[in-house]
Structure 1
């Protein structure tokens, strides 16, 4: 197809990728509506992309060249064991062919790749979206009944041939397309933080012993992954700790971003300190303890499967289409694959109906598969953890295969040709 008007709701990673992909594919006018009026919040959170997905996405143009990334090669699983020293005991090691990214640096690279012809409007909060063909009234008589409508916070309404929801887990586009699809709390949270890697020198002889590895600290009722990421001011150490929340009502679990950086209360900080003291090998406890409270936050874990990813001139991409627990290490790659699939469909399709149908068949199934795998990973690594200290390499390998249940691995699958 050529021409057409497209509104992309949300200007974060998925939104920038979609806008750039559609502009390159031949969309006539692409408008990004981003509710944040200033610079998007940069939490310094790390994320990873599988090396094979990165090759695929660079070839499609979805992942621009030149964005800082740190190579990772292996994943180490360790348990606390005083006899093995401060770093704990290694119970298993597996290949981990990924590169890690800093959220802010990845977003900036994607934002800079958006063609100048795309109109990127900040401070434009979208309050509601209506699919094409609903409530058209006079609009249909004016020839506008086949366009979706976007209502802005100021009260104005804009019409587009296609509206893409890249607006995350609270997506207003998803609410219009499939209101029954909502995030479900998984029963546990993740604590996130990051620290300047130069501070590892404060820890003495074990400073930065595994720069090419993700280290997974295993304990009863949870796990914690620790790995390097690039940062605006130099390398950083990123960590994500999964565990049950405090049982005293200190966390409000109806919002996946309840406690952003800087909002960690003294009580929650004490809970985290006690968990680290009780469960972690001393070295890894000290690594996490280097993190400034301003760089620490708590995120309840949710997942979501959208019953529909496209219809009525509405389409969902990234977390708006499906929220996958982070264990699968696939969120960024999935968003960029969604953008790639949408652009490919745009080039092949002769109508919006054909475009929407093809996108839903391709990406709906992919999203459901990712959600299912991440649920299995979460149950095995947090909800129903094994007796880690009794595990050996063969036992860990069998345990891992059970989680995959036939999937080739984590990080997402290659896109179908």
Structure 2
């Protein structure tokens, strides 16, 4: 299929990848409508991509070369116990063939790879989308104007306007817990002296009753950083609201929430790791309610969903970025094999709909096992941890997303 006009709503990771795929596939016009002005706010968040997914995505052209990444090789699960070891006791270690990224650097690499033919418009808030049968779809903007395209792609994330038009019955569901996120300059670890962080290629998972915390290194704009994601029940004092994916953004942490986090680290973490997370500047800490969402369809009626607009997966699965780039890969493959937009939509939904729903289901199992119904961590043996992990996978090869069909 060649020709046609495409509007991509959202210019983040999924939006840039989809726009690049559409332009390279032969669309006559590709327009990205991004609501923010200037550089997208990234909060310094880290993310990981499975090595096998990275190879596939590099071969497809969805993951550009040269983006800074930090190699990870294994994951250690540790507990605080009565032995008094500052770094805690390792209860299990598993292979972890991933590379970690800084969200901002990954987005920048994807943005720079978008072809010059793509019109990337910032400060454009889309207020509504409506399919117009075989005649295309209409995009309504905040200034009251409307634009018509042959295809509209929703890459507008958690609160997708395009999803609201395509799947109005699908809404995010709160999982019942939150994650605290933060990152800090890795050089600051020297302030702690010798300790547990002697293996930079390892991911450390701190285990405690009712939660876990994942700590790993990421590249940063000014050197390596330490990224951490702590999953736990929310404070009981009602400070958090659950109507936004980021209830307390960086710099918005209240004194009460800061005290809650400090008490959690002091009570549940091995001393070294509690002190390590405390190195985080308060301006780099935020709290995010955990949601998930699945849709019955990802494409129909000249509308198509990609990335978090198509499915919201709890972060335990470590698959968000890979899934968004796989969506772009499937979009490009569908375009090349289709003779019409309708054929493209059918091929894309067939490929990506089940994949997204499987990721949501896996992440729910991971969340139950690692937060909602945690085992007696300190009593777990290596074989018990292995069996516990396999029960979460339930036949899936690994976390980090699935291989795309060949």
TM-score interval, normalised by the smaller of the two chains: over 0.9
Q: Distance in 1 between matches of 2:318 and 2:230?
A: 14
1:163 — aligned with what?
A: 152
Secondary structure of the residue aligned to 1:302 is: strand
Q: Distance in 2 between matches of 1:49 and 1:62?
A: 13
User: Is residue 2:215 matched to residue 1:226?
Assistant: yes
What does residue range 42-191 of structure 1 map to in structure 2 within 5 Å?
42-83=42-83, 85-133=85-133, 146-191=135-180
User: Is residue 2:272 matched to residue 1:283?
Assistant: yes
Residue deviations 1:252-277 (CA, integer Å, cap 9, x gap)? 01211111100000000000011111
Secondary structure of the residue aligned to 1:185 is: strand
Secondary structure of the residue aligned to 2:193 is: helix
**8 Å contact from structure 2 (residues 87, 196) kept in 1:** no
Name the count of aligned residue pairs: 406
Measured after TM superposition, the shift of residue 198 of structure 1 is: 0.3
Q: Of residues 370, 381, 386 in structure 1, which corresponds to 2:375?
A: 386
2:204 — aligned with what?
A: 215
**8 Å contact from structure 1 (residues 14, 336) kept in 2:** yes
**8 Å contact from structure 1 (residues 127, 153) kept in 2:** yes
Measured after TM superposition, the shift of residue 25 of structure 1 is: 1.0
Secondary structure of the residue aligned to 2:401 is: coil
Measured after TM superposition, the shift of residue 42 of structure 1 is: 2.1
Q: Distance in 2 between matches of 1:75 and 1:231?
A: 21
Q: Distance in 1 between matches of 2:333 and 2:20?
A: 13
Measured after TM superposition, the shift of residue 132 of structure 1 is: 2.0
Measured after TM superposition, the shift of residue 84 of structure 1 is: 5.1
1:24 — aligned with what?
A: 24
Structure 1 runs, 4 residues or longer, greater than 2 Å off: none
Residue deviations 1:125-161 (CA, integer Å, cap 9, x gap)? 000000123xxxxxxxxxxx61100000001100000
Measured after TM superposition, the shift of residue 207 of structure 1 is: 6.7
User: Is residue 2:347 matched to residue 1:347?
Assistant: no
CA distance 1:356–1:59, shift in 2 (3 Å): same
2:321 — aligned with what?
A: 332
Secondary structure of the residue aligned to 2:111 is: helix
Gaps of 5+ in 2: none
1:293 — aligned with what?
A: 282
1:359 — aligned with what?
A: 348
Cα root mean square deviation, aligned: 0.8
Secondary structure of the residue aligned to 1:214 is: strand
Residue deviations 1:14-38 (CA, integer Å, cap 9, x gap)? 0000001111111111000000022
